[in-house]
């Protein structure tokens, strides 16, 4: 006690001696306005910093700290400095720092108002505020002083000063003060020393330090605000490094000093700081947010460092499991006391959506026979014999969905990723329904199927008017008048389906859109998916007669680049110049669609159907024009880009009429199609179709035509167009062609006809005129060659044998040529371009170079429908064959290689008008099959 008191008393004395000794002009007091300024002023001082009470400095710089009794800054327990009331007549304000010389700052804190002054002040404390140059006293003024935060800018300066001072010291002024005892003291000082401990040489202290401390604390408890705490947050005084060091023996201190020697001086100085010890002196504030809003927290709670616990995740506990566990618990406890917590068992979903619902006893209940049949054939319902060990499907393998069905739906954008804003063709008049113009209606009424369609099919409900439906085979759409099974079961109502689909409108229901192709003008593409054979859109327009067509070609469309004319029946043409967008569908040699003509409610209608494979969104829709250039001059280069492209908009190779071997002829007689002789009786066509349907249903009908095929025409045609090797493939492959009996469902007319070619070709006196022909005419501005072709497609009633007869009355010189019969669904193109074989001299008439003198047509004009196709302008993508090719083509035309041949009469006339030299070539093709002769 006496020692401590002596130490306290010594301090003022030393201070008094300090100034003259040091010779410094330090002011005894430097009043500071506030804490920060005091801190700064300390930093700005030219005196080297001291390490005395660094914490008090840092704490003093924190205004918050001063307000909190438990966090009041002070030195450590060992550095309890009595606060005198007055010194030199000046009383610093509470909370101000009182500088001690330039180096050390002791925070002068007034005792709390609640504490009595006597208790807060030691007995012998001076009323005036003393100043201590503790650094000087400790001989640590040459060392750096720890600074409060935010004074980094002054570091360099401080270092410089410090170095200078160190140099001074090295010069000897302070040499004497460096001795062995001081070494120890310095170490202690550096490690958070206190003045009293340092000032007293270790040798003078006889009692152990711990004893002294305890004595001190018990005898004169320091005011709470002056008691240094290790952390303001913990509130509990901790044993500091200095106390530990001071308790060490000399040897131990040396060891520690050595161990710390690796640290830089700066770090060593900082070792006693909270920052170094990673102690947060500011409470961490936790904010609470709920539903995106800030929640006010009780300030008392907010100031505490304890963070609110995050909400715990709710753990779902299955009540059954709890009960089970509870019931199982006593048993287990009885047997073996569980040492560890039982691991949780993972739960798996074992049932589907409809778990727990009763399965229908009879899944076929309420279904029609057809539905039952369909359901029974579902592979999902067939017993597999193996237990299902994979994830089970919804209840009963999705039976509910299988029975009731549910449409799969996706947002339209997903199905239709096509970018909008395609360039649209110039405005044109549209027509959603065919319209007869002129005599066309009268013509139509004269056709046999105008009455044929009315007779009913013989299907049963379970058949659903499938492939064996004679209506379907005849390409008659079922309706209430001609269908035996009714709408509920009938599947042969494509046009009605189309109408229902498009009735509400909308892009998806319409399903197609016009777009601009790179090289073929406009085209049509799908903006939805289509199933195989599904109806896509109708080809509508004005139904005109051949004569009307010719007139329009010459008068109305003579300047047009493209004609939208489709031959689809005898003497009738659909002119889609005013019509549906189906007219923009381009040709492809590998098409994904077919253009098929149907009779719907007794009216001729044409529609584009998907092919045998589904169509995806964005695909360009194409069909095979079966484009017959007829003359090499009229050929247009095909730009479809398919691998098997024929190179030109020419006829399909497979459509080359297969000559019949005598064997086949015999077979044909035996086939049921014999009943198809149309001429036998009115309406016999349908009955023959029924017979044909039965025949076609039998798989035996599939035969291979092994007879040598004469394809001279096609080959010559290929030659005419100068096909290269690849393009010849089509011609060579038709050498041996299998003739497969068509099954009748949504097949092209051509395939139907091909099937029919099996037998009844020659006896096809009764003709079902059903030719699907497309017309594409290339126009030329200056010289127009007009080719007139009359087409009659005759199809034998026994499954559709078709004969094509092309004919046109000649006006001038007649040149008869015989052309082998082509596809029944012949597409006729007369793209007459300036023919080199005709003179362009106005007023003169030149007979086109006779191709082959042919026998005159034996076909009766009255029965041969005519199709007039006029050539317009030259297509910009004009195909110009070589002369040799032309010759070859002509040779081809005159090759009567087929038993069923078409005789053509080609006429050429040249006329002029309005400065234009019109050269018209009219070719009349007449069916000249041997049988019909």
Ligand X SMILES: C[S@@+](CC[C@H](N)C(=O)[O-])C[C@H]1O[C@@H](n2cnc3c(N)ncnc32)[C@H](O)[C@@H]1O
Residues in contact with ligand X by CB under 6 A are 520-523, 562, 564, 583-584, 586-588, 636, 638-640, 776, 778, 875, 877
Q: How far is the CB of 641 from ligand X (least distance, A)?
A: 8
**What single string gives the DSSP state of each residue in 751-786?**
HHHHHHTTT-STTTTSEE----EEE--B--SSEEEE
Q: How far is the CB of 572 from ligand X (least distance, A)?
A: 18
Bridge partners of 585, per DSSP, are none
Q: How far is the CB of 355 from ligand X (least distance, A)?
A: 56
Phi, psi of 634 (to 5 degrees): -95, 5
- Residue 474 vs 621, nearer CB to ligand X: 621
Bridge partners of 921, per DSSP, are 787, 908
Measured between alpha carbons, how far is 576 from 561 in angstroms, rounded to an integer? 14
Q: How far is the CB of 472 from ligand X (least distance, A)?
A: 28
Q: How far is CA 493 from the centre of its chain?
A: 36
- Residue 636 vs 713, nearer CB to ligand X: 636
Measured between alpha carbons, how far is 102 from 805 in angstroms, rounded to an integer? 124
- Residue 191 vs 583, nearer CB to ligand X: 583
Q: How far is the CB of 747 from ligand X (least distance, A)?
A: 22
Q: How far is the CB of 905 from ligand X (least distance, A)?
A: 25
Contact 239, 228 (CB under 8 A): no
Q: How far is the CB of 735 from ligand X (least distance, A)?
A: 26
Contact 512, 526 (CB under 8 A): yes
The residues, ordered by sequence, that sit 6+ positions from 781 with a Cβ below 8 Å of its Cβ are 559, 873, 874
Phi, psi of 873 (to 5 degrees): -85, 165
Q: How far is the CB of 649 from ligand X (least distance, A)?
A: 6
- Residue 760 vs 777, nearer CB to ligand X: 777
- Residue 465 vs 649, nearer CB to ligand X: 649
Measured between alpha carbons, how far is 76 from 545 in angstroms, rounded to an integer? 118
Q: What distances in angstroms separate CA 511 from CA 526, 537, 577, one per listed residue?
A: 6, 8, 21
Measured between alpha carbons, how far is 589 from 160 in angstroms, rounded to an integer? 93
Contact 141, 173 (CB under 8 A): no
- Residue 415 vs 645, nearer CB to ligand X: 645
Q: How far is the CB of 524 from ligand X (least distance, A)?
A: 8
Measured between alpha carbons, how far is 55 from 543 in angstroms, rounded to an integer? 106
Residue 719: closest CA among 881, 599, 488, 841 = 881
Contact 854, 821 (CB under 8 A): no
- Residue 165 vs 638, nearer CB to ligand X: 638
- Terminus-to-terminus CA distance in the chain, angstroms? 150
Q: How far is the CB of 680 from ligand X (least distance, A)?
A: 39
Measured between alpha carbons, how far is 391 from 534 in angstroms, rounded to an integer? 35
Q: How far is the CB of 632 from ligand X (least distance, A)?
A: 16
Query: How big is the CA angle at 14 (ends 8 and 19), to the nearest 5 degrees?
Result: 145
- Residue 43 vs 776, nearer CB to ligand X: 776
- Residue 222 vs 772, nearer CB to ligand X: 772
The token duo for 841 is 């001299």
The residues, ordered by sequence, that sit 6+ positions from 689 with a Cβ below 8 Å of its Cβ are 470, 473, 474, 676, 797, 798, 799
- Residue 415 vs 639, nearer CB to ligand X: 639
Q: How far is the CB of 559 from ligand X (least distance, A)?
A: 15
- Residue 396 vs 522, nearer CB to ligand X: 522
Q: What distances in angstroms separate CA 895 from CA 230, 306, 421, 817, 902, one per listed residue?
A: 117, 105, 51, 9, 11
- Residue 98 vs 588, nearer CB to ligand X: 588
Q: How far is the CB of 521 from ligand X (least distance, A)?
A: 2
**Sign of the alpha-carbon dihedral angle for 730, 733, 739, 743:** negative
- Residue 737 vs 877, nearer CB to ligand X: 877
Q: How far is the CB of 622 from ligand X (least distance, A)?
A: 7
Bridge partners of 105, per DSSP, are 99
Measured between alpha carbons, how far is 624 from 586 in angstroms, rounded to an integer? 8
Helix (H) or strand (E) holding 586, with range, is: strand 586-587
- Residue 26 vs 627, nearer CB to ligand X: 627
Q: How far is the CB of 729 from ligand X (least distance, A)?
A: 18
Q: How far is the CB of 922 from ligand X (least distance, A)?
A: 21
- Count of helices and strands (H, E) across the chain: 30, 29
- Residue 188 vs 649, nearer CB to ligand X: 649
Contact 741, 696 (CB under 8 A): yes
- Residue 364 vs 428, nearer CB to ligand X: 428
Q: How far is the CB of 557 from ligand X (least distance, A)?
A: 12
- Residue 611 vs 744, nearer CB to ligand X: 611
Altogether, the residues listed in the chain come to a count of 933
Measured between alpha carbons, how far is 710 from 661 in angstroms, rounded to an integer? 11
Q: How far is the CB of 624 from ligand X (least distance, A)?
A: 10
Strand bridging mode 593-600 / 792-796 = unpaired
- Residue 297 vs 639, nearer CB to ligand X: 639
Strand bridging mode 773-775 / 565-569 = antiparallel
**What single string gives the DSSP state of each residue in 473-528?**
HTTBPP-TTT-SS-TTT----HHHHHHHHHHT--HHHH-EEEEE-SSSSEEEEESS
Residue linked to tokens 């009731």: 404
The token duo for 932 is 């019909």
Measured between alpha carbons, how far is 17 from 31 in angstroms, rounded to an integer? 22
Contact 202, 183 (CB under 8 A): no
Closest residue to ligand X using C-beta atoms:
521
């Amino acid at each position: 006690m006496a020692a401590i008191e002596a130490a306290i008393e010594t301090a003022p004395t030393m201070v008094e001696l300090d100034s003259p000794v040091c010779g410094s002009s330090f002011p005894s007091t430097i009043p500071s306005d506030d804490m920060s300024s005091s801190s700064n002023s300390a930093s700005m001082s030219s005196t080297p910093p001291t390490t005395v009470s660094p914490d008090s400095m840092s704490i003093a710089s924190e205004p918050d700290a001063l307000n909190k009794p438990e966090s009041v800054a002070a030195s450590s327990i060992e550095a309890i400095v009595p606060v005198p009331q007055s010194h030199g007549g000046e009383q610093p304000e509470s909370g101000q720092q009182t500088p001690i010389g330039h180096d050390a700052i002791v925070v002068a804190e007034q005792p709390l108002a609640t504490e009595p002054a006597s208790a807060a002040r030691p007995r012998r404390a001076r009323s005036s505020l003393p100043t201590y140059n503790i650094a000087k006293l400790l001989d640590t003024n040459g060392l750096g002083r720890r600074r409060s935060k935010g004074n980094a800018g002054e570091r360099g300066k401080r270092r410089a000063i410090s170095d200078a001072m160190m140099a001074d010291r090295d010069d000897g002024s302070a040499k004497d003060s460096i001795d062995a005892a001081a070494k120890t003291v310095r170490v202690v000082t550096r490690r958070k020393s206190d003045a009293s401990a340092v000032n007293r040489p270790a040798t003078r202290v006889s009692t152990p330090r711990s004893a002294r401390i305890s004595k001190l604390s018990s005898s004169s408890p320091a005011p709470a605000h002056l008691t240094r705490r290790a952390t303001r947050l913990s509130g509990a005084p901790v044993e500091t490094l200095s106390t530990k060091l001071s308790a060490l023996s000399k040897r131990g201190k040396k060891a520690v000093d050595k161990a710390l020697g690796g640290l830089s001086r700066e770090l060593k100085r900082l070792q006693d700081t909270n920052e170094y010890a990673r102690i947060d002196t500011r409470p961490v504030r936790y904010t609470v947010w709920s539903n995106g809003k800030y929640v006010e927290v009780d300030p008392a709670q907010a100031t505490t460092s304890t963070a609110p616990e995050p909400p715990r995740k709710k753990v779902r506990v299955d009540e059954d499991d709890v009960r089970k566990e509870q019931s199982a618990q006593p048993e287990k406890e009885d047997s073996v006391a569980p040492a560890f917590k039982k691991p949780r068992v993972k739960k798996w979903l074992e049932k589907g959506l409809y778990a727990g619902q009763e399965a229908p006893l009879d899944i076929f209940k309420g279904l029609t026979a057809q539905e039952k049949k369909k359901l029974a054939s579902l592979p999902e319902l067939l017993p597999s014999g193996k237990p299902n060990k994979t994830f089970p499907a919804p209840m009963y393998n999705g039976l509910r969905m299988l029975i009731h069905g549910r449409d799969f739906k996706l947002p339209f954008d997903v199905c239709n990723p096509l970018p909008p804003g395609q360039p649209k063709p110039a405005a044109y008049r549209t027509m959603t329904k065919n319209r007869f113009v002129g005599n066309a209606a009268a013509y139509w009424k004269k056709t046999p199927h105008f009455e044929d369609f009315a007779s009913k099919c013989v299907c049963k409900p379970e058949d659903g008017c499938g492939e064996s439906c004679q209506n379907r085979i005849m390409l008659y759409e079922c309706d209430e008048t001609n269908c035996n099974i009714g709408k509920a079961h009938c599947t042969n109502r494509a046009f009605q389906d189309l109408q229902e689909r498009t009735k509400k409108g909308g892009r998806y229901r319409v399903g197609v859109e016009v777009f601009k192709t790179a090289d073929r003008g406009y085209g049509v593409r799908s903006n939805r998916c289509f199933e195989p054979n599904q109806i896509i859109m109708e080809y509508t327009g004005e139904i005109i007669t051949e004569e009307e067509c010719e007139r329009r070609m010459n008068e109305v469309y003579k300047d047009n680049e493209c004609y939208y004319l489709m031959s689809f029946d005898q003497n009738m043409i659909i002119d889609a110049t005013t019509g549906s967008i189906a007219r923009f569908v381009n040709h492809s040699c590998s098409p994904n669609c077919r253009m098929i003509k149907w009779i719907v409610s007794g009216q001729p209608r044409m529609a584009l159907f998907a092919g045998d494979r589904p169509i995806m969104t964005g695909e360009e829709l194409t069909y095979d024009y079966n484009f017959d250039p007829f003359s090499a001059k009229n050929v247009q280069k095909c730009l479809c880009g398919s691998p098997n492209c024929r190179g030109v908009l020419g006829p399909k190779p497979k459509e080359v009429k297969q000559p019949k071997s005598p064997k086949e002829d015999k077979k044909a007689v035996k086939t049921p199609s014999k009943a198809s002789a149309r001429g036998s009786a009115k309406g016999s066509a349908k009955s023959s179709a029924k017979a044909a349907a039965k025949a076609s249903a039998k798989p035996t009908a599939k035969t291979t035509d092994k007879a040598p095929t004469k394809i001279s025409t096609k080959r010559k045609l290929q030659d005419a167009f100068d096909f290269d090797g690849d393009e010849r493939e089509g011609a060579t492959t038709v050498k041996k062609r299998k003739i497969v009996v068509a099954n009748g469902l949504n097949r092209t007319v051509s395939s139907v006809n091909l099937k029919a070619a099996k037998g009844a070709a020659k006896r096809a006196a009764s003709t079902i005129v059903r030719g699907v022909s497309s017309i594409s005419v290339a126009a030329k501005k200056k010289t127009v060659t007009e080719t007139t072709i009359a087409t009659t497609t005759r199809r034998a009633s026994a499954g559709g044998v078709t004969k094509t007869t092309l004919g046109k009355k000649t006006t001038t010189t007649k040149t008869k040529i015989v052309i082998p019969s082509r596809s029944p669904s012949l597409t006729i193109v007369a793209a007459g371009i300036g023919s080199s074989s005709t003179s362009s001299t106005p007023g003169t008439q030149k007979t086109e170079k006779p191709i082959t003198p042919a026998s005159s047509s034996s076909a009766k004009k009255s029965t041969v429908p005519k199709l007039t196709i006029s050539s317009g302008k030259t297509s910009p993508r004009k195909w110009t064959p070589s002369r040799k090719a032309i010759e070859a083509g002509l040779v081809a035309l005159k090759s009567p290689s087929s038993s069923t041949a078409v005789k053509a009469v080609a006429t050429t006339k040249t006329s002029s008008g309005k400065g234009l030299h019109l050269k018209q070539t009219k070719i009349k093709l007449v069916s000249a099959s041997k049988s019909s002769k």
